[in-house]
Chain A
């Protein structure tokens, strides 16, 4: 018996890892505005002149507390990067293949991730102008924006 190569055992293990997290007062306010008013809000650091979407309660550059400097940004924006998800998993919000993009909304300085639909994968490109399509039924999550669609 060659134990250098054969008869190497595998020990199986399995973990269940349930978790949750509090989105906090800042994250919750962002979601409430989205749910109740279909408006996308960010927080602005006046010192750095940056608008963060999704909001951060402190400026990630200078560290200032900015949790009260709410500004509304547009529901239109520009794709700054994207990938194509080509496999399906139970936790995914839509069936693969789909486009997951980074979108910088008009009025924001940071991009955030969301799904882009309404365009063929082969036609997808950085720089595409997109517009938010809100969900018909709220789930009090970021999926209250159903997806982004090519604008105009």
Chain B
């Protein structure tokens, strides 16, 4: 791994989010983006003139608009500024944060605005995804996150009864969190007495993946402003520091043809490397919150093990004991996570934004009811593209 220490520290100084919903007919794409940009600028107490560079991204092809960043200049404020467009599938929002972090850390820019968006109502997501599939090169598994591979794996290991109950417990916890978050797209008010009914009667999608387990298609945007240490301290008294990030991508993880690599996910690989170089030996103990890109309840519950490097059924126990609830030992997705709202190009950025808000202590009704100093946030994209972020309240590592 060719990783070196950052050239200088980078702080998050502004965060903006739209409300997430199934569709936004009252605004076009740049107008929707402008809501998040304005929110982030207001949050930072900056004007668009203070921003030196704009990084823009969404899921390629999902709105069927080529080079949307050009049109979106009307809403992004990129007029006359340096600008980049990034698109890395579901991971896009995380790639935008990683790029902004790098652009500021390098010294190229002092203040960078990153914007992720999606208006899924307007396009054709399946059309955008399925053209990745290719029979010649055995790129087969391109149904996006619609797969029950995690369910098959977890059921084989822990038995049907325990696995299904753990997945549904995870799902109900996420909904309870979503009900606290005013920006949620979907918040049903699920309760524990619905567990058996949901396990049995929620409409099946694929195998043991049922509709209730799955994330939504959402419209919305997220904007974040990053600044160098010196600038960040002058802009706000509550900057959140991006301590480190790691980006791991390996298509073969989901590629049946080339499955001769060791069976290890990019999540686990990323977590091992990130903790190793930052001296984190017990991540569950160290972190105060984890905002995870969890496309479905099955993947969410399974991935806890990878991200926290847990053994045996430790991750299942965290769920069964409700340790991952907002007032638990290690809260996961107090925002409700991706199952609550999935504006794809923004989704991974929302994870970082929500984790940062928890550290600032102003997340809103879904603020964790105790001090948050260390946060973890993950990104995920179709072919196992993982980015993992460590955020800190203090500059003392």
Residues of A bordering B, CB below 8 Å: 11, 13, 15-27, 56-58, 60-63
Contact = CB atoms under 8 A, between A and B. Distances in A.
A19 B74 contact: no
A63 B28 contact: no
A17 B74 contact: no
Q: Which 3 A-B pairs have the closest CB atoms?
A: A19-B64, A24-B28, A21-B122
Nearest to B131: A15
A57 B136 CA distance: 47
B79 A60 contact: yes
Max chain A CB contacts within 10 Å: which of B27, B122, B127?
B27
A22 B124 contact: no
Given A16-B127, A63-B48, A58 B74 contact: yes
A43 to B, nearest CB: 11
A22 B24 contact: yes
B34 interface: yes
B123 A22 contact: no
B75 interface: yes
Contact of A57 (B31, B47, B48): B31
A56 B77 CA distance: 13
Given A22-B121, A24-B27, A57-B27, 20 more contacts: A11-B136, A15-B127, A15-B131, A17-B61, A17-B124, A19-B123, A21-B63, A22-B24, A22-B25, A22-B28, A23-B28, A24-B25, A24-B26, A25-B26, A57-B31, A58-B34, A60-B74, A60-B79, A61-B79, A62-B48
B279 to A, nearest CB: 43
B79 A24 contact: no
A30 to B, nearest CB: 11
A58 B131 CA distance: 36
B253 interface: no
A22 B79 contact: no
A125 B285 CA distance: 73
A25 B64 contact: no
A19 B124 CA distance: 6
Contact of B28 (A18, A19, A27, A61): A27
B317 to A, nearest CB: 45
A19 B59 CA distance: 15
A13 B121 CA distance: 25
11 contacts: A17-B124, A21-B28, A21-B119, A22-B23, A22-B27, A22-B119, A25-B27, A26-B28, A58-B34, A60-B79, A63-B77
Interface in B71-94: 73-75, 77, 79
- B interface secondary structure, majority: loop
A57 B31 CA distance: 7
A61 B74 CA distance: 8
B29 interface: yes
B122 A19 contact: yes
Interface string B13-29: 00000000001111111
A58 B30 CA distance: 9
A22 B30 CA distance: 11
Contacts of B61: 17
A16 B122 CA distance: 15
B124 A18 contact: yes
A58 B32 CA distance: 11
A132 B47 CA distance: 39
Contacts of B29: 21
Contacts of A58: 30-31, 34, 74-75
Max chain B CB contacts within 10 Å: which of A25, A60, A62?
A60
A128 to B, nearest CB: 28
Contact of B74 (A11, A15, A21, A56): A56
A9 B142 CA distance: 24
Given A57-B34, A58-B34, A58-B74, A17 B27 contact: no
Max chain B CB contacts within 10 Å: which of A15, A20, A21, A56?
A21
Max chain B CB contacts within 10 Å: which of A17, A18, A23, A61?
A17
A17 B27 CA distance: 22
Interface string B112-138: 000000010111100100010010100
Interface in B95-151: 119, 121-124, 127, 131, 134, 136
B59 to A, nearest CB: 13
Max chain A CB contacts within 10 Å: which of B31, B63, B136?
B31
Contact of B127 (A11, A18, A25, A61): A18
A20 B47 CA distance: 33
A60 B78 CA distance: 9
A139 B71 CA distance: 24
Contacts of B75: 58
Contacts of B27: 22, 24-25, 57
B72 to A, nearest CB: 10
Given A11-B136, A19-B124, A60 B73 contact: yes
